[in-house]
Amino acid sequence: MVFFLLRRKARSVLNSLLRQSPWERARNAAFLLVGLLLIIGLYAAFWRLLRYLDAVPVIGTLLIWKLTALALLTTFSMVALSSLVTSLTTLFYAYDLPFLMKAPVSLRTVFVDKSAEATFYASWMIAATLLPYLVALAQVKHLGVLFLFAFAGVVFPFLALASSVGMAFTLALMRLFPSPRTRDMIWILSSFSVAMLYVLLRISQPERLVRPDMLELVAQYLSYLQAPTAPALPSWWLTRALWGCAHARWDVFWTYAALLYGVCAATYGALVYAAGRVYADGYSGAQEGRRSGRDQKIEETWETRWARGLRLPLESAALFRKERLCFFRDVKHWSQILLVAALVCVYLFSIDRLPLDSPDIKSLVSFLNLAVAGFVLSSLGLRFTFPSISLEGRSFWVLRASPLRVETMMRQKYLFTLAPSLLVGVVLILVSNRLLHADRFISSLSLASISVMALALTSMGVGFGALFPKMNVPNIHQVESSAGGFVYMAACLAFVVATVAIEAWPVQMYFQNKFGKPDAWDWTGVSMCLAGYAVVNAVAFTVPWVLGRRNLESHEERNP
């Protein structure tokens, strides 16, 4: 029966591939190409790192295997954490579970099918990232293809054990606390853990490992770490198995390979046995709705009071309240906020660590930083602003049936998503200028530019989102990776590049004047730059907005 379910899944994947449109095939091919380039880049970086470490006298091999043990320990932890979130969705909230629970199959069979799916989703990307490291290790140590085959033979129980840890924790948690709030807490805690791991990894400054002047210090530090790295965990067993294969110690390899497979079989068998007892209760509790616990009183909201005070239309207050409630009810948005905060911290830390000595170079980098900040705002817009129209989904007809204009709805989407975009852009530029000690002219120019850029990019996000709405998608990522998302990102990048290119001429005049060149300021050129800047922003503000508004106004006619 398990084979039948796996065959069903394989045919489902095959049918989805055959039904892809030419655009989806081209998009997937482009993503695959980017993934291959990323793997090649990781291989080159790992090869360079291992080559430097291998050149360290006496303890170079110790350094490499210690780093391998740490990499496998990190991989085990990341797969376990990923399995915690993936198994929660796959085991309790998958779209096909209502069908499987009513099918004439045992509960343990359903669990085996969904647990295999959870293991694949939790580990495939991390395993793909680990593969370039192992290939680089085999290349540097001249281990040959046999080493890679040995790794392929023992990595499966290693990943299955890591995934089993997350699934066991999920089963226990849903058995003790069978509520959708448990899923929300896991989303938040896992996102917070990933964000903290990302920040701590960057603060540790791993680039010091590839600096020749730091290798001696690192070697002295690692020489004291000759003890096994977490010997009770499968990461150390995999390290010892690979070490045995690399040194032709086949007794060591087979011992630890048998240990990995034996513990994996015992752990998964115990997990399947426990699932037969607790899986049904956890699944039943996961289908329960939430209880508000609040008195349902009709009171005037603060949005309404503000609208009255500012003499704004009351429908704008109602729409803003709807946006606010929908946003904060979805914990996936909270997790995204945590990741954005981690990205900002790492971004500012990297700016602070730039090896710049000259004040003029710092000011120039501060200006060029405007392009990077614009790219960050474009990425945030792709995640939050562009899908805002499509997130209305099947409830879009409610807004169209109400006495509201499309222009009013789009304007409310714009105002709601503008605040975080403007906040992130201003914080990035203000703190970056502070860390780089940029002069007053560059600081003022970059701050004004990022403010206008945030206004324009948000308008483009709402406009392109209305121009390419996808109301019937189950996952927001399908909106981001659609043809409209590609057009939006291309337009945003073109706008950012055009803005920086137009401002580069006055900045060049400023530095020439600062270096003592007479008559450096060409006011005719400055006027042309101002005119070009105004035209570019006018196009960015109006063209996507007008086209998107017209498309939404006719959307009701196509989808009554």
Q: Tell me the per-residue pLDDT of 189-203, one tens digit each, with 9 for 90 and over.
A: 655 555 565 555 555
Rounded distance between C-alpha atoms, residue 493 and residue 501, angstroms: 12
Q: How confident is the model at residue 553 (pLDDT cuts 50, 70, 90)?
A: confident
Mean pLDDT over the full length of the chain: 78
Name the DSSP class of 384: I
pLDDT score, position 298:
53
Average pLDDT over residues 67-76: 83
Residue whose pair of structure tokens reads 């291989």 in the numeric block:
43
Q: Which of 32-36, 163-167, 360-364, 400-404 has the lowest mean pLDDT?
A: 400-404
Average pLDDT over residues 169-197: 63
Rounded distance between C-alpha atoms, residue 548 and residue 544, angstroms: 6
Q: Pick from 294, 506, 352, 322: which is nearest to 415 by CA? A: 322
Tell me: pLDDT of 39 over 80.
yes
Instruction: Retrieve residue 24's tokens.
Output: 């989806």
pLDDT score, position 210:
45
Average pLDDT over residues 305-311: 68
pLDDT score, position 186:
58
Rounded distance between C-alpha atoms, residue 274 and residue 435, angstroms: 55
Higher-pLDDT residue of 205, 26: 26
Higher-pLDDT residue of 159, 198: 159
Q: How confident is the model at residue 560 (pLDDT cuts 50, 70, 90)?
A: very low
Rounded distance between C-alpha atoms, residue 484 and residue 334, angstroms: 25
Q: How many CB atoms lie within 10 A of CB 92?
A: 23
Q: Pick from 467, 461, 463, 485: which is nearest to 551 by CA? A: 467
Q: Pick from 152, 165, 170, 135: which is nearest to 234 by CA? A: 165
Higher-pLDDT residue of 65, 560: 65
Percent of the chain's residues with pLDDT above 90 = 10
pTM of the complete model beyond 0.75:
no
Rounded distance between C-alpha atoms, residue 126 and residue 123, angstroms: 5
pLDDT score, position 262:
93
| Range with the largest mean pLDDT of 104-118, 176-190, 220-234, 310-324 | 104-118
